Structure 1
Amino acid sequence: MEKIFLIGTTASNLYIFRKDFILSCISQGIEVYALVSEPDDFWNSKIKETGAHLIEYKMNRSGLNPVSDIKSVLQIKTYINKYKPDLVFSFFTKPVLYGSLAAKISNTPQIVGMIEGLGSPFTEHPNGQALKMKIIRFFQISLYRIVFPFIDKIIFLNSDDPYDLIKKNKIYHKRDAVSILGPIGLDLKDYPYSSWDSSKPITFIFVARLLAEKGIYEFIEAAKIIKEKHSNILFKVIGGLDLNNPYGLSQKDLDSLIQTGIIEYPGFVKNVNEHIASSAVFVLPSYYREGVPRSTQEAMAIGRPVITTDVPGCRDTVIDGLNGFIVPKWDVNALVEKMCFFIENPDQINIMGKESYKIACEKFDVHKVNKKLFEIMEIKD
């Protein structure tokens, strides 16, 4: 193994989620080429600091233009033919589809794809799925039928995703190609454990994009209910608005929530770990088709109990009653009940938080995860 292509989307995403993998490869003398479709000067420089070669390519993550997508495949193919990697490793839907196809056309020796959650096209909404998402899902499945048969390794983060994507849709693939990695992991030293300061007011924290499918509306409704009885309880929200998403929280609604004191919203922050550490309980009432949520992993590493939903990916992080609680999706009353448990039993915050930390050390350590990833990809460590 001399050269690896990593094909992702944004430069920030590739750096945050693949930095340690890149460093592990480089430490073994493997030359790494990082391909990003949405470059950013700051994150570009961070990628280059790892020792990887940065390549920019064009791809519209959410577009449905076949001409544009074909151009993306051909551009990636040009880079593969130029540098001749021994392995092409793509992650997220479009890079897996188009990067793998380009690798196949270029006769790359080994092709690996990682599906980090099934995303919006496979997310069930309480009022049904939008027609556009149904169309995207149809085309995704159709393209997976073309690409999966020649991918050497198809890596998922949880066991629900291959069942819902491959088995239910009867998508053919190579024998023994499918593997379950589990959480992609994080560098635990970046999220040091700290016990919650019980002298402070109890704060419930939500960290995600402010979208319906991430559970922001359930979190807000729960906050309103609890505030009526426990005015001293705080609710903190960290995450960006997505004004182009029809299911997103509006700026007007966000401003109103801040003004009425229902939530605290510090805006864009770079020190998410500090905000989690100053909070008591992490809450993610998501019904999005997650892989395994990174924000939950961060909260558990810091030592916080978690309340999340019984949906793929989310339920893989919590042992119900041990390090937090799992509630049904869309169920505000169940969410309120579990939040009130911590209000009425504050001693359980650090008890359950310690269990979260233990699970994080066992399952989320990026060095352990990368070792497993190397084994799956048959790269000698």
Structure 2
Amino acid sequence: MKIAVISSHTKSLFSFRMDMMKDFIKHGHSVIALGHESESEWTSKFEIHGIRYKQIFVDRNGLNPLDDLKMYKELKRFMKEEKPDKIFVYHAKTIIYASLAAKANGIKEVYPLVAGLGSIFRGHGIKNYVVKTILKIYYRLAFQASKKVFFQNNDDISVLVNYGLLPTEKVLLINGSGVNLDEFKPEPLPDKPAFLFIGRLLKDKGIMEYLKACKTVKQEYPEVRCMLVGPYDSNPSALQPEELEEYINQGIVEYYGEQQDVRPFLKQCSIFVLPSYHEGIPKAVLEAMAVSRAIITTDAPGCRETVIDGDNGYLVPIKDVNTLVEKMKYLINNKNVVEKMANRSLDIAKDKFDVKQVNKSIMEGMELL
């Protein structure tokens, strides 16, 4: 079978979906990956893995209907020319327009992945309300054109089912994107406490809470390291360079920018911190668990799926810097607890989040096995 894997962000095809696409190929299927970045830059990188790559136009965060129409037409043309047997698609805009383009071409085997609902469904204000209302209409149409819909947490399922956007019989729950346990292996803890945040520098990821907490912690424990890895972003909630600069200049955080391989940084930390407001299931947390690290994250959709509070880490309230600081200080002073939590993280990663098991669930849901 020919399977199209469609995303609005080309890099995520590599970082989140490569293991899945490789498994598709291992089972005898051909794969075409679609993303927004140029074919000249990415074609050879995909070809190494036996995957074709095609560029599509995507304005990820824009609200211009003409840009969205252009995207829909490109996807419709692709469906007509390539005639994929099955489509796996994620990110809001690509879910909507790929599903509708597939329907226009009589393709019924469409499988969206809702990997977190994002800030629109949980935000406030008039603009947010208008965008959410439109998005709900489009999602309903997209899900009508889909055979099944994958989710990564029950919170997101409840929101969309309660809105009446899809019936429960179309819902399939999977354990995130999984983590490759052959690539992310347990590492010994460093001698001194060190914290690490990995993710896009978005305020919805809790980046400001992390920075403020690090500032407070460093006042009492100046020797403790607070590391930060991740790119700036075009999202409206993105952190601006000048906002981060003061924390770098004061020696509060060590900023390493975007990294293709995060394992060297996971090796240097003892506690991984992600105070996000909402996720699907955060892959960075899964990778930290596989490396055997204690976790501090929020009691928020997607995040709470990764931590048993007090077992492999702590769940703190959203936007609660004081509680975050409290847990960071406690782990600084209790290395034995960090060691126990790190071991439990590894156990949970093996039992629940092994990418091989996640990919098996996806292929079963897509009727590929």
Give the whole-Å Cα distance in 2 for the aligned partners of 1:109 and 1:221. 48
TM-score (norm 1): 0.92
| 2:300 is aligned with 1:311 | yes
Give the whole-Å Cα distance in 2 for the aligned partners of 1:34 and 1:271. 21
1:68–1:269 Cα change, 3 Å: closer
Partner deviation per Cα, 1:64-84 (whole Å, 9 max, x = no partner): 222222222222122212222
1:26–1:238 Cα change, 3 Å: same
Q: CA deviation at 1:246?
A: 5.0
| Equivalent in 188, 208, 227 of residue 217 of structure 1 | 208
Give the whole-Å Cα distance in 1 for the aligned partners of 2:38 and 2:14. 11
1:4-43 equivalence runs, <5 A: 4-39=3-38, 41-43=40-42
Aligned to 2:188: 195
Partner deviation per Cα, 1:200-223 (whole Å, 9 max, x = no partner): x21111112222211111112211
Aligned to 1:182: 175
| 2:50 is aligned with 1:51 | yes
Give the whole-Å Cα distance in 2 for the aligned partners of 1:96 and 1:319. 32
Give 3-state SS (helix, strand or coil) of 1:191's partner. coil
1:44–1:234 Cα change, 3 Å: same
Aligned to 1:134: 129
TM-score (norm 2): 0.95
Give the whole-Å Cα distance in 2 for the aligned partners of 1:75 and 1:225. 50
| 2:313 is aligned with 1:297 | no
Give 3-state SS (helix, strand or coil) of 1:121's partner. coil
Give the whole-Å Cα distance in 1 for the aligned partners of 2:63 and 2:122. 19
Give the whole-Å Cα distance in 1 for the aligned partners of 2:239 and 2:114. 27
Partner deviation per Cα, 1:180-238 (whole Å, 9 max, x = no partner): 112111211221111203x3x21111112222211111112211222222221121111
Contact conserved, 1:210 with 1:248, CA < 8 A, in 2?
A: yes
Counterpart residue identity of residue 283, structure 1: V
Counterpart residue identity of residue 218, structure 2: K
Give 3-state SS (helix, strand or coil) of 1:314's partner. coil
Give 3-state SS (helix, strand or coil) of 2:281's partner. coil
| 2:133 is aligned with 1:155 | no
1:1-381 equivalence runs, <5 A: 2-39=1-38, 41-124=40-123, 129-167=124-162, 169-173=163-167, 176-197=169-190, 199=191, 201-242=192-233, 244-245=234-235, 247-287=237-277, 289-380=278-369
Give 3-state SS (helix, strand or coil) of 1:112's partner. strand
1:144–1:313 Cα change, 3 Å: same
1:256–1:159 Cα change, 3 Å: same
Deviating above 6 A after TM superposition, structure 1's stretches of 4 or more consecutive aligned residues are: none
Q: CA deviation at 1:378?
A: 1.2
Give the whole-Å Cα distance in 1 for the aligned partners of 2:311 and 2:200. 27
Instruction: Please report the RMSD computed on the Cα atoms of aligned residues, expressed in angstroms.
Output: 1.7
Partner deviation per Cα, 1:226-284 (whole Å, 9 max, x = no partner): 22222211211112223x55543332232221121111112333331111111110011
Contact conserved, 1:15 with 1:43, CA < 8 A, in 2?
A: no
**Sequence identity (%):** 36
Give the whole-Å Cα distance in 2 for the aligned partners of 1:346 and 1:205. 16
Partner deviation per Cα, 1:158-194 (whole Å, 9 max, x = no partner): 1110111231x12244x62111112111211221111
The runs of 5 or more residues in structure 1 that have no matched partner are: none
1:245–1:34 Cα change, 3 Å: closer
Give the whole-Å Cα distance in 2 for the aligned partners of 1:376 and 1:44. 28
Counterpart residue identity of residue 157, structure 1: Q
The runs of 5 or more residues in structure 2 that have no matched partner are: none
Contact conserved, 1:183 with 1:363, CA < 8 A, in 2?
A: no
Q: CA deviation at 1:331?
A: 0.9
Contact conserved, 2:114 with 2:150, CA < 8 A, in 1?
A: yes
Moved more, 34-43 or 2-11: 34-43
Counterpart residue identity of residue 151, structure 2: F
Give the whole-Å Cα distance in 2 for the aligned partners of 1:177 and 1:282. 35
1:322–1:378 Cα change, 3 Å: same
Give 3-state SS (helix, strand or coil) of 1:123's partner. coil
